[in-house]
């Protein structure tokens, strides 16, 4: 028996959420198709970095409040089922609308009457109502809710408690049960209709993606006019409250922001012009940097290094990282490309020291904190983020 089963429970969202509910006194089962992650989690090792999760995982395993499994039959044993599987785009940038249909048709035989089914993935608007309708038509008596996850990767456990929880249900009872569930984590619950809740999540991510695009475009404009973007950035933001939060330039990447901007665009008949413009700017930044670097350095004769391959600093996740795009572009333009990242183990990942020693020019792909104190041996370091002392941020 369990209070809560989380489908996708060993993922970046599912696992911290499960740990948080276990800490709040619930008996939680994390169901996942990845047997490797399930085994690792049951042995008390987090499959990825999340602040504070290593200790909490051990604590809740020891108390018997949390376990991971690959057995979908356990879905039946819980009062509440939460789904947090990935919702990626396809190769043509369309939302994969079939992901939830497939999940529900595969796992629905394990649902039992009276359960609360909470969708926690970021979904295409209308998905929640559709899931509820299909289950009802097939004779399943379950309450269906949508409660999106809004944490930042790497600090999920902290943010689960500090952010308000968005709650929606396809019926008043589903809404009430979902509110009660998330009140276990916080008193701050915002209730919305399902499509409004689905849009809230997409708006949050698209807004952030656009903000990064504005900074990146301003960066390119300043550069193209031979000006220092960070001098302007400082002038814009210093003691100027209305520019508070204006981001620095850098790669806007990862598995969520781009994907959710495109989901929103698809929902709005591909006429989300701001979102598309943001995509062109953000996805174009690696090419821009290489083009500007090629005008200053003879890349064809140089071994170049990239420090940082994950999608953001101090994180171990390489999904949709723009450092890979930088690597591909440099592989075409430069003599040789070497890569380093302290969070990744791959045959082609070297130590930062070796990359610096063997490279004539270094690019910061991801400004991990530890790079700030590296000895770059006097090598030029291209750093659009303006994060590394002595780095070149104006190209």
| DSSP per-residue letters across 181-223 | HHTTT-S-EEE--HHHHHHHHHHHHHHHHHHHHHHHHHHHHHH
Judged on CB neighbours under 10 Å (0-12, 13-18, 19+), 232 is middle
Q: Which is nearer to ligand NAD, 8 or 305 (CB)?
A: 8
Q: Is 33 in the site for ligand NAD (CB under 6 A)?
A: yes
Q: Is 103 in the site for ligand NAD (CB under 6 A)?
A: yes
Q: Is 7 in the site for ligand NAD (CB under 6 A)?
A: yes
Indicate the SS3 state at residue 234: helix
- How far is Cα 104 from Cα 155, in angstroms, rounded to an integer? 29
Smallest separation, CB 189 to ligand NAD (Å): 17
- How far is Cα 90 from Cα 106, in angstroms, rounded to an integer? 20
Phi-psi region of 389 (alpha: psi -120 to 50; beta: other; left: phi over 0): beta
Beta-strand relationship, 165-169 and 143-146: antiparallel
Can you tell me which of 23, 37, 208, 368 binds ligand NAD, judged by CB under 6 A?
37
Q: Is 82 in the site for ligand NAD (CB under 6 A)?
A: no
- Size of site (CB under 6 A) for ligand NAD: 25
Can you tell me which of 5, 13, 118, 307 binds ligand NAD, judged by CB under 6 A?
13
Of the candidate spans 8-16, 277-285, 305-313, 349-357, the one that interacts with ligand NAD by CB under 6 A turns out to be: 8-16
CA distances from 380 to 95, 138, 359, 362 (A): 41, 63, 10, 6
According to DSSP, residue 95 is labeled B
Q: Is 10 in the site for ligand NAD (CB under 6 A)?
A: yes
Q: Is 127 in the site for ligand NAD (CB under 6 A)?
A: no
Q: Which is nearer to ligand NAD, 95 or 391 (CB)?
A: 95
Can you tell me which of 26, 115, 121, 386 binds ligand NAD, judged by CB under 6 A?
121
Ranges within 256-285 binding ligand NAD (CB under 6 A):
256
Q: Is 149 in the site for ligand NAD (CB under 6 A)?
A: yes
Chain residues binding ligand NAD by CB under 6 A are 7-8, 10-14, 31-34, 37, 84-87, 103, 121-122, 149-151, 153, 255-256
């Amino acid at each position: 028996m369990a209070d809560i089963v989380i489908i996708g429970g060993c993922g970046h969202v599912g696992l911290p959420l499960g740990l948080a509910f276990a800490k709040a006194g619930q008996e939680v089962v994390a169901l996942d198709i990845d047997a490797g992650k399930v085994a690792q989690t049951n042995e008390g090792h987090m499959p990825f970095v999340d602040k504070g999760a290593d200790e909490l995982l051990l604590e809740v395993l020891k108390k018997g409040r949390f376990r991971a499994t690959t057995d979908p039959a356990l879905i039946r044993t819980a009062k509440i089922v939460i789904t947090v599987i990935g919702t990626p785009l396809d190769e043509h940038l369309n939302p994969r609308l079939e992901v939830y249909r497939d999940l529900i048709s595969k796992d629905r035989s394990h649902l039992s009457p009276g359960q609360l089914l909470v969708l926690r993935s970021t979904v295409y608007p209308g998905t929640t109502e559709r899931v509820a309708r299909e289950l009802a038509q097939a004779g399943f008596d379950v309450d269906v809710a949508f409660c999106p996850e809004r944490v930042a990767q790497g600090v999920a456990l902290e943010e689960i408690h500090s952010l308000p929880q968005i709650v929606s249900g396809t019926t008043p009872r589903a809404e009430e049960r979902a509110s009660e569930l998330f009140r276990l984590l916080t008193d701050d619950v915002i209730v919305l209709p399902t499509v409004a809740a689905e849009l809230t999540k997409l708006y949050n991510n698209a807004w952030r993606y656009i903000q990064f695009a504005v900074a990146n475009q301003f960066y390119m404009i300043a550069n193209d006019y031979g000006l220092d973007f960070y001098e302007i950035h400082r002038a814009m933001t210093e003691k100027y409250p209305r520019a508070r939060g204006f981001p620095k330039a850098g790669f806007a990447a990862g598995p969520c922001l781009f994907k959710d901007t495109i989901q929103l665009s698809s929902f709005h008949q591909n006429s989300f012009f701001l979102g598309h413009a943001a995509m062109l700017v953000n996805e174009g930044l690696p090419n821009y940097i290489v083009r500007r670097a090629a005008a200053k350095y003879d890349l064809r004769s140089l071994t170049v290094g990239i420090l940082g391959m994950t999608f953001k600093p101090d994180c171990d996740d390489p999904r949709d990282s723009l450092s890979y795009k930088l690597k591909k572009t440099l592989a075409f333009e430069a003599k040789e490309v070497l890569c380093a990242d302290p969070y990744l183990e791959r045959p082609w990942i070297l130590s930062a020291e070796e990359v610096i020693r063997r490279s004539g020019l270094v690019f910061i792909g991801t400004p991990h904190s530890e790079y700030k104190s590296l000895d770059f041996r006097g090598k030029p370091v291209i750093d659009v983020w303006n994060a590394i002392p002595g780095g070149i941020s104006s190209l």
